Every structure is written in C-alpha cells, then in structure tokens.
C-alpha cells in the first residue's frame, strides 16, 4: 500500500464539522463488486452501508486548498469529502472512478500516458473503531494528513465501528503511469 503525508494542519475540526454534505449514497451493491465475485448481495441492515458526500463544486474553499497540494502529481483532479457515521461502512468494492471518466469524455481531455488514481486523505487522526483496508492490508495507525493511493481494481473497504464520524478527502485525477 502506497502511503504518504501532506501537512493539512490548517484544517480545523470546526471546518470539517461545518461541511455541508449534499449527497448520501447507499453502497450495498458495491458498484457491482458482488456480481463480479458471483455472490449474492449481503443482507446488511438498510442504513449500514451509507456514505455522506460532497463533491467538487459544492466543497468548501479549504478542500480545494488541500486538493491543490497534489497538483504536482495529478492532472484534471476533482475533490470529494466523505463522512462515514458511527455504525456505517462501505463494504468491499473497487472504485469505478465514474465521474472522472465521464469528465474526460465530456471535456475531451488528453490523458495519454496517464492513469486514473484516487488519493484517499485522512482528515483526522484514526479514532477508535475507524478502519481502512486495501488489498488485504489494514491501516489502523494513520494520522491527519496521511494518505494512500487507490488505483482502479484495488479492493478496499472502510468502516466506522466507533462513536465519532469518520472523515476523508478524496482527490481523484490522472497521474503519469508509474508515479505511484
């Protein structure tokens, strides 16, 4: 698992608390992951596989300041802030990167020599019950500003079995092949 760190000390708990989440998504189908495995969708409680999100144009100014810290490695990037409430999770899945791929088509962006990647940046130190796993490797000692790179087809999951919201910022874009 690729791990890195960015200084986001200017991001306060108050800034994160004030994020207005404009969408919430039930992730029970895991973007077709269960179908690809040939198994039935698990019988999760209805409201367990939910993630609250806010996307690029609806994000606060500070989100874009963090996003721009990756301008040296990502082109055409977009930002998303995710909130997983206590008792919720995103089950095993692979990211489809649908929105960035649609943007490439719509804007006819030149991505020759580039590969799509998603940077998952932790907006807080790991708290009790917060969990991240990718390709059978857990990361349970992350700190605010730590990040990992999620490539297409990388199986991963997140969970919040604790008592406080779990916040991450995702920056999705295109990196030169072999960067990560």
User: Is the separation of the CB atoms in 172 and 76 below 8 Å?
Assistant: no
With cut-offs at 50, 70 and 90, classify the pLDDT of residue 31: confident
CATH architecture of 3-176: Sandwich (2.60)
The secondary structure of residue 139, as a DSSP letter, is: -
With cut-offs at 50, 70 and 90, classify the pLDDT of residue 99: confident
User: Is the separation of the CB atoms in 84 and 166 below 8 Å?
Assistant: yes
Instruction: Check whether 85 has a pLDDT greater than 90.
Output: yes
pLDDT of residue 10: 98
Instruction: Check whether 96 has a pLDDT greater than 90.
Output: no
Tens-place pLDDT, residues 127-150:
999 999 999 999 999 999 999 999
Structure tokens belonging to residue 97: 């990167």
Give the start-to-end residue ranges of the domains of the chain.
3-176
With cut-offs at 50, 70 and 90, classify the pLDDT of residue 104: very high
pTM given for the model: 0.94
pLDDT of residue 113: 95
Helices (H) and strands (E) in the chain, counts: 4, 11
What are the phi and psi torsion angles at 90 (to 5°)? -115, 115
Chain mean pLDDT for the chain: 95
User: Is the separation of the CB atoms in 145 and 6 below 8 Å?
Assistant: yes
Structure tokens belonging to residue 43: 């019988």
């Amino acid at each position: 698992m690729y791990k890195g760190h960015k200084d986001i000390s200017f991001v306060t708990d108050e800034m994160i608390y004030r994020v207005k989440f404009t969408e919430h998504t039930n992730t029970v189908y895991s973007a077709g992951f269960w179908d690809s495995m040939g198994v039935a969708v698990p019988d999760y409680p209805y409201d367990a596989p939910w993630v609250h999100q806010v996307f690029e144009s609806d994000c606060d100014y500070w989100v874009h300041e963090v996003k721009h810290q990756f301008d040296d490695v990502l082109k055409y990037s977009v930002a998303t802030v995710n909130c997983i409430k206590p008792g919720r999770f995103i089950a095993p899945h692979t990211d489809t990167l649908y929105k960035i791929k649609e943007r490439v088509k719509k804007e006819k962006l030149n991505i020759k020599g580039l590969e799509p990647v998603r940077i998952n940046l932790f907006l807080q130190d790991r708290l009790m019950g917060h969990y991240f796993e990718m390709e059978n490797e857990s990361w349970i000692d992350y700190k605010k500003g730590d990040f990992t790179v999620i490539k297409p087809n990388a199986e991963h999951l997140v969970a919040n079995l604790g008592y406080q919201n779990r916040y991450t910022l995702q920056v999705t874009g295109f990196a030169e092949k072999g960067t990560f």
